[in-house]
Each structure stands twice: as structure tokens, then as C-alpha cells.
Chain A
Amino acid sequence: MKRISIKQEVCIGCGLCQVYCTVEHSKTKDPIKAYLKEQPRPVSRVRVETSKPNSLSIRCQQCKDTPCVTACLAGAMTLDKETGLVVHDAEKCIGCWTCIMVCPYGAVKPDSTGKIIAKCDLCPNLLVPACVANCPNEALVCEEVE
């Protein structure tokens, strides 16, 4: 199973992971348009947290016990048995926020429409997720884990 882990000691809290995540999840994939023009506004599925001197880049951790999948009212959050990943179906999502209530990382949030949630999907169209590929200090690692 793929998962993105964080090397806390080298995260400098620059926030570029948020920027690249936002752009990758935009329609235009263009930073200027993504941030200034697109509606609905694309949102980052990563959150950089800072508590000086520490910082962390937080996203869905693909929990094995999948509290969000169990809690989902609509059947929109599922565990893909083949990949081991927690997959969100935006078409089925009703934005009930139950997954937000039970996500221990606070890694799920309402998207900018306020109608459905947004969470890390490991950038299915990229070989390496955008946040990992563009982390200047290589604090993010996408690895295969059991």
C-alpha cells in the first residue's frame, strides 16, 4: 500500500506541499488561475501545521482501521481492497462531515463548495504525488508499506 510519510526533522514548514496539492487538484493545473480564477476554488488536501520550532505536513494517513469508511453515511468512502487505499467518491458524497468527526488527523475537510469533502487521493494521475515531488527539502516520502 502506498503512503506518504513525513520526516519531521527536515520539514521546514514552507507550505509548498499545500500549493502543489491545490494546483494538482485544480481544473487548469495552473497556479495563477487555480488560486485567483477557478470556481469552485480548489483546496489543498494537505495542511501544514507549525508550532515553532516544529512543523508538519498532514494529510490522509490511509489508516488500516479506516474510521472514516466505517462512519460514512453515504457509502462514499471505501477501502480499495486491492490497493489498500481509502478512496473517496465525490459523486456519492453528501457532505455529512461524519468522516471529519472521526478522522484522528483532521485530514479530511469540506471542499470550497461546502457540499462535499476533500482528502488526499495520492494524486492518481501522477507517478509521484505532487506534494512529495515538490518538497524542496525532501521531507515527504511516498513509500510502499505493509
Chain B
Amino acid sequence: MTKYVIIGGSAGGIGAVEAIREVDPVGTLTLISEEPAPQYSRPMISEYVSREATLDTMKYRGDQFWKNNNVQTLTGRTATKIDFKEKFVELDGGDKIDYEKLLIATGGKPFVPRMEGGEKDGVFTFTELSSAKGLESKLENSKSAVVIGGGLIGVSAAEALVKRGIKVTLVELKDNILNLILDKTASEIAEKVLTEAGVTVITGQTVQRILGRKDNQAAVGRVVMTDGTEIPCDLVVVAIGVIPRTELVKETDLKLNRGIVVDRLMRTNIPDVYACGDVAEAHDFLLGENRLLPLWPLAHLGGRVAGYNMAGKKAEYEGGTVMSSLKYFDLPIIAVGNVNPEDIGAYEVIVELQPTKTVYKKILLKDNVIVGFIFLGEIEKAGILFRLLKNKVNVGEIKDMFLSEDFGIVTLPEQLRQKMFVVN
């Protein structure tokens, strides 16, 4: 009986459990998680704070998931050390868990820059349920918040808070919100939607200091911006980004770049040790190289691939790329790949903007291969483009149809359809 140990119980760990059990129903499976009940959907933290989801509805898998998959869970426990030679994981308190196959799926942690006042009561992050609960518990007695960071998490936080009646200022250091995902046009449309919903968006600046309240210096009272402006607020949400949680494997033989480097089978450089999710640097099919891509679906997929390989069924990670679907204030946007290259002149750009209908489509091609696209407003057929992009299909013959209402599976050449769109 193989002894499997998984560190981390979120998207990646869960994917691995499911894959391992498909192949090996009898091996012993131990999962270590710092969280008491890790099987919740982290992307739904926003819905939890906005009260569109409850602790119950935000469960990614049911409460019986671990039991049904015969997983011994060590929840509320922290792995403190891995001995790759003797093949065991040490936990807080000194317990040792032997492994034959190990998955490191420790995820990411919010990046919080050192900032004056960052320790004050009322400063939160937005990627873990515990911090979201803390934030949520303050909302009834709060009127205003400053969200630092205009990326996916920051905008999610801003939306959730506005829906709870909080006056929100969203601060983004770059010139446009969501600048890692969208181009300027799409970003401006998104910003307009946010503004109309009541969010104050400030770009080109950040928060320099957090100051206390006059009657309570230990609690958040206002922030000071780069230009010296002061914004009064009761809460600060830091949403600048996530960084891989590699502290467990620092100064070991495990190959680290910014994250744990894995191959297409999600193997690290150490035999029988796998990694996936936000802690791993895995394959990007667009770049053809490894990179950090802290996205939930990719963590789950990577976990599945790792699980199969751990259990002896060969599987290859197809990879991911920058890929996001957004729904801020009911504006649907799907953006994939390279949509904002610096050398835009080197690309063919197919673009359509219908401001009255809030529809924007942009497709970037290089040598007749799609390298990125944005669908805003009308998203139903985005997945067809995603498949063409992922498979690097030469779209020379069909690209003229991309913006047509008639574009679809039927407009693809018969040969391509047979090859790529039959049921697999």
C-alpha cells in the first residue's frame, strides 16, 4: 500500500485526492492543512463577504469529501519540515508522517508590504476564510474602506464591500485597474462599471501610511496616499498579490525559483515529491516555459495531474496561461493570454468596440495564431477561441469570421472540427 501525503487542502490538494482515488482506492492518504475545514472555494470569499454565499454554499466539496475518499485529515496542523532523504514530514508538535509519494500544495499567501500602520486593527487581506471572517465581522460597525491593489482580488474585495454598503476607495499603483489581465480599453470599461456602482477608483498612486483613529490609535482611521492626500476609512484591505508559500522548503535541495519548479508531470527535482498550485512554477502553454500562475482552475488541474502520476497513472499537465473570467457588477469579461503586449505593432489585432451595448472584443494574432483575446459583454463563444489559442491553430482562413455573429463551430474548417472538436 502506497503512503501518500499531501500538504495543503485547497484546490490542488483536493484535485490530487480525487485523482489518486480514481487510480488507487487502497493506499493510505494523509492530508495536512492549517485550516480547520479547507474544502471551501477561495474565489468565493468575495461572495461570502457580500453575503451572496454562506459558509455552507461556498463549500467546494461536501463535508463528507475526506471521509468518502478515505483521507486521514490533519487539520489545523502546520507542516514544519520535510526530510526528503528519510521521506517524512514533520508537524508542529513534532509528529512525523512518513510518505512514499508527497505533494506540496501549500498555496500562496497574500503579499503585504511593510507599511507604517500595517499592524493596526482593521487591516485585512482577502485570500483566506479566516481573514475574510475577521473583515466580515467588522462591517456592521464600519462605513468606509480603502482597498490597496486593483487586481483580481482587490476588485473582488471592492465589489463585496460596496454590496455591503461600505464606501470603498480602490487604489491601484499603475495607471489602470486589472492591468495584468486587461488592456486599457477593457480596463476603462471595467473602471466605469465600478465607479457607477459607487467605488472610488484612484490610479497611479498607492497608500503610503495607515494612521490610527483619533480616539484609538491602534485602530485604522485614515490612510495617507503617495501624494500626501488623506482618506478617512475604518478598514484597509491589502490585495496586492500572492506569493508562493515556500518557507517549508527553503534551504533544502528542492529546486526553487520564485516557486517550486515542476515538470509536465508536476514532479519536482526530488524523486517522489510533487508540487502544484500557487506554490508551483508550472508550464505555461503560451510562453512554453514555467511560471507562477496563481489561478484556482490551474491549481486543481495541476493537483489532478500530480495525483495521477503519484498513483502510477501517467498524466501530463497541459499547462495554463493568464486566463481570467470576470463578472464584476454583472459585467462579463473573459481575457486570455497576451492582450497587452508592449510591441503591439508586431501583432495583428482584430477589434470591435460597441460602447452603447458595452461590447468589446479584441483578438491578437501573430503569424495567424491567436496569442490573446478579450471578450467583454458577449462571452458565449470565448471558449472556442480559447481552444484555438491553446492548440496554436493557424486561423488564417477563419479569422475574418471572429467578430461575426455567425462565428462558431460551423465556421471552422471541416478538418479542424474533426480533429479538435469531436468528443474526446
Contact = CB atoms under 8 A, between A and B. Distances in A.
Interface string B401-423: 10000101111000000001101
B423 A64 contact: yes
Given A49-B406, A54-B410, A114-B330, A75 B41 contact: yes
Contact of A75 (B52, B60, B301, B334): B60
Contact of B327 (A70, A96, A104): A96
Contacts of B301: 70-71
Interface stretch (A30-38, A87-95, A121-129): A87-95
Contacts of B401: 51
A47 B408 contact: yes
Interface in B365-424: 379-384, 386-387, 401, 406, 408-411, 420-421, 423-424
Contacts, number: 119
A105 B334 contact: no
A105 B384 contact: yes
Contact of B424 (A65, A75, A101): A65
B250 interface: no
Contact of A51 (B41, B59, B411): B411
Nearest to B383: A103
B166 to A, nearest CB: 21
Contacts of A92: 57
Nearest to B43: A73
Interface residues of A, number: 41
B409 A49 contact: yes
Contacts of A109: 380
Contact of B383 (A64, A91, A102): A102
A55 B383 CA distance: 19
Interface string A107-146: 1111000110000000000000000000000000000010
B59 A110 contact: no
A74 B218 CA distance: 37
A10 to B, nearest CB: 14
A102 B410 contact: no
B332 interface: yes
Contacts of B420: 104
A65 to B, nearest CB: 6
Contact of A3 (B41, B409, B423): B423
Interface residues of B, number: 44
Contact of A91 (B57, B297, B381, B411): B57
Interface string B310-339: 000000000000011111001010101000
A40 interface: no
Contacts of A107: 383
Contacts of B380: 47, 100, 106, 108-110
Nearest to A3: B423
A100 B44 contact: no
Given A58-B409, A101-B336, A104-B421, A94 B297 contact: no
A92 B40 CA distance: 12
A98 B408 contact: no
A50 interface: yes
B327 A97 contact: yes
B382 A94 contact: no
Nearest to A107: B383
A145 B423 contact: yes
Contacts of B172: none
Given A104-B383, A104-B384, A108-B383, A73 B44 contact: yes
A100 B379 contact: yes
Taking each of B304, B334, B381, B410, which has the highest tally of chain A beta carbons within 10 Å of its own beta carbon?
Answer: B410
A97 B379 contact: yes
A109 B332 CA distance: 11
B53 interface: yes
Contact of B384 (A72, A96, A106): A106
A23 interface: no
**What 10 pairs across the A-B complex have the smallest Cβ distances?**
A49-B408, A103-B383, A71-B297, A49-B410, A97-B325, A104-B387, A106-B381, A75-B60, A73-B43, A56-B410
Interface of A: 3, 47, 49-51, 54-56, 58, 61-65, 70-75, 91-92, 94-98, 100-110, 114-115, 145
Interface of B: 15, 41, 43-44, 47, 52-53, 57-61, 296-297, 300-301, 304, 323-327, 330, 332, 334, 336, 379-384, 386-387, 401, 406, 408-411, 420-421, 423-424
